[in-house]
Every structure is written in structure tokens, then in C-alpha cells.
Amino acid sequence: MIEAVGLAKRFGPVEAVSDVTFTAGAGRVTGLVGPNGAGKSTTLRMLLGLVTPDAGTATFGGTPYRELLAPGSTVGAVLDIAAAHPASTARGHLATVAALAGHARVRIDQVIDTVDLRSFADRRVKGFSTGMRQRLALATALLGDPAVLVLDEPSNGLDPAGIVWLRTFVRDFAASGRTVLVSSHVLTDLEHSVDDLVLIDRGRTTWTGSLAEFTAHGTTLEQAFLALTTKELTP
Ligand SMILES: Nc1ncnc2c1ncn2[C@@H]1O[C@H](COP(=O)(O)OP(=O)(O)OP(=O)(O)O)[C@@H](O)[C@H]1O
């Protein structure tokens, strides 16, 4: 469903991404994992047409994001915490986005239910915790009932209960045949939620495959990561 081939992007002297290639399939949760500054956010921004690649292609079902006929109903993305107006309520923010994007009003209450936002839907965003903002951002991304979800470091700011909730949510989303691509700089964050892993380091994909194949390289995720990273560095 998502395909990135040979993506590259330079910002002046900084080679943010030099060669990123992977696929993220339907019905699966794919984790994009790498250390801080590895190029994960830049890769996701290229996928979503927010940054133009210097080289390579990024497509959803064969079509670049900017050429999708109904992008909001095809791909939902959370790249930053919800940029809602502090004086608006969560419900008000969702209503504004739904109106601007042409999504059905009925979706507002549906996404509020989906992300368990009911208890604070009518409170002003300025009083929200980071976890509440994350849920609002996710609700906003779901308004168009997309078939693909792209999440950049979604567990940032979530408490343990929120992390378990998010894990269940992405698993259920993928179980319905849809596609999830989720980034993290913490490998163990994704241990219980992903089917497939894409490792990225210094702008390059260093390993792709299923979580099961990955852990076959070591008894723990950390050991497997070290084994693969070491192999990658050996000429
Ligand atoms: N707009 C920009 N202008 C200049 N440099 C940038 C820009 N965006 C990203 N970079 C640089 O590109 C490199 C990759 O950044 P990116 O944010 O893609 O990494 P990341 O893997 O998402 O990191 P993190 O886990 O810290 O969010 C970094 O060195 C970053 O400073």
C-alpha cells in the first residue's frame, strides 16, 4: 500500500535522507525505527507531499500523495501534536476541520468515540495534557475514515495506559485490513504493536522485514538490533 523507493533529501549541507526504500502493506502495522536525526520525520514528510524529494518516489497504492483524488479519505497523518486553537474545544476543532475538508458531520462524534475523547470533547484545548492533544490529533487524522494511517512518534507524552490504548488501537486498525506506518526512536515502544520493521540510520534503510525475522537475530529486540547494526557496518 505504501511504497518508498530510493528517497533522498538534502537541506543545505545536511543530508537528511540519502536512500530510503521500503513497503508498508495493508492489514499490517509497520514500524519505522531509528535514532534521533536518522531521517524518519523527513521520510514521512516526503511520503505526505510536504517535502519534495531530491530523488526517489513515495506512493500510496501506486499514486503519489499530491495526486490522490481524495487524500484526506485515503491517508490520515499525525506528524505533530494537534495545532488546534487553544480557545476552541476538541469538538469545535474537529467540526472546523471536517467542514474545511468536506467530511461528513457524523464523523465528528464517531472519531470522538474511536479515540475515547468523550470526557473532554467539550473542554477547551488550552487545558489539554500532551496525551489529550495526541488523541485529538489522532481523531483529526481519522475524520476522513482513511485506509492508511501515518503516525510520527505517537507515544510521545502518553502515559502507560495511553500507550497500551494506542497499541490496541493501531492493531485493530490494521486488523480491519488497513495500513499503519508508525515511527519511533525507541525500538521497544513498538515491540508489541508492529508486524514489520524498517530500520533507518543516518538517512538510509539498513534493514527491513517482519518482527519475527528481526528477533530471530537475537533473543531480545536490543540484541537483534545490535547484531543487525554490526553486520550492516561490516564491509
Ligand atoms: N527543514 C530542515 N532544515 C534543515 N535540516 C533539517 C530539516 N529537517 C530535518 N533536518 C535535519 O535532517 C536530519 C534528519 O531529521 P529528521 O527530523 O528527519 O530525523 P528523525 O529521525 O525524525 O529524528 P527525531 O527522532 O529526532 O525526530 C537531522 O539532522 C535534522 O536536523
pLDDT tens digits for range 46-84: 999 999 999 999 999 999 999 999 898 899 999 977 677
> What is the tens place of the pLDDT at every residue in 5-46?
999 999 999 999 999 999 999 999 999 999 889 999 999 999
Q: Which atom of ligand 1 is nearest to the CA of 15?
A: 12
**What is the band of 136 on the pLDDT scale with cuts at 50, 70, 90?**
very high
Q: How much distance in Å is there from the Cα of 55 to the middle of ligand 1? A: 17
pLDDT tens digit sequence for 169-202: 999 999 999 999 999 988 888 888 999 999 999 9
pLDDT on residue 225:
75
Q: Which three cell numbers stand for residue 75?
A: 491517508
Q: Please say if the pLDDT value at position 235 is more than 70.
A: no
Q: Is the CB of 20 under 6 A from ligand 1?
A: no
Establish whether residue 14 lines the binding site of ligand 1, counting it when its CB lies within 6 angstroms of any ligand atom.
Answer: yes
Domain enclosing residue 36, as ranges: 2-233
Structural domains in the chain (count): 1
Which one of 11, 20, 43 would you pick to mutate in the ligand 1 pocket, going by the greatest count of ligand atoms within 8 A of its CB?
11
Give residue 40 CA to ligand 1 midpoint distance, Å: 8
CATH number for position 68: 3.40.50.300
Residue 109: what pLDDT?
96
- In this model, does residue 234 exceed pLDDT 70? no
Q: Is the CB of 185 under 6 A from ligand 1?
A: yes
Kindly report whether the global pTM for this prediction surpasses the value 0.90: yes
38 lines ligand 1 (CB under 6 A): yes
The sheet carrying 29-33 orders its strands as 55-60, 2-11, 14-24, 204-210, 196-201, 29-33, 179-184, 148-152, 75-78
The closest residue, in CA terms, to atom 11 on ligand 1 is 16
